[in-house]
Structures are given as C-alpha cells and as structure tokens.
Amino acid sequence: MRAGTKLPPLEIEITRTLIVAGAIASRDYQDVHHDAELARQKGSPDIFMNILTTNGLVGRYVTDHFGPAAVLRKVAIRLGAPNHPGDTMVLTGTVEEVDGDTATVRVVGANGIGRHVTGTVTVTVPNGGAV
C-alpha cells in the first residue's frame, strides 16, 4: 500500500433490478427508488439509486481491491448526479494516505451525466497487503 496508488476502475451497470433490490435490502421504501411513475411525478426522469446502495458499492469496490481481510473503518460519501436505470457507473480510486496498515482511499463514481458519488474510505489491511 502506497500513497498515490490508483485502484483499477470498476464499471457497474445500473439496472432497474439493482436499484430496486438495493432499496429493498436497505429497507428504503421511498417510491422514487421503485415506482417510475411516482418518480416522474416528483420531477425525476425515472427511479434512482439510494445512498445506501451507493455506499455498499463503494465499500465493495475498496474491499475487492484490498482483499477479503480488508476491514472498512470509515466510509464518507456525498451524492451528486443520480444513477438511473441504463446508466453505467465507473468507480475509480486513489490511495491518498497510508499509516501503518490503514489507508485512506479517495473514491469517485461517475455516470453519463456526471459524478454520482465522491468521498473517502478508510480501510485497514492486515500486513499492508493489496492485490
């Protein structure tokens, strides 16, 4: 683990099923995450992904890179452009800081209309290993 290391990008196809399943799994029953007509009535072109699903995908991105022994210590994200069905979100990351076996990774997830998510993830990796 070294500051400046770039994680390989991860492309995630944003499907209607992913959006709805993520909302259900996180018990977020807001209609904008599963009912396209009601989402349109509220000004959105379609349903959109909730923050808890995004949070999980960001965590997965980091642990996929650092391996199964990695432990997420902190995930701090901010949403921007919504993820709608048919989008592709591309996650990218850069190790910003390393302190012993703990790293801070800056993560950006962008789709066709802009940055969906930005933030940092603090991860501990026993023995400082990374894939």
Mean pLDDT in the chain? Answer: 95
| 89-112 pLDDT per residue, tens | 999 999 999 999 999 999 999 999
Between CA 47 and CA 68 the distance in angstroms is 32
Amino acid at 105: V
Contact 26, 18 (CB under 8 A): no
Between CA 126 and CA 131 the distance in angstroms is 13
| 9-63 pLDDT per residue, tens | 999 999 999 999 999 999 999 999 999 999 999 999 999 999 999 999 999 999 9
The pTM of the full predicted model, rounded to 2 decimals, is 0.92
- 43 is written with which tokens? 């000004």
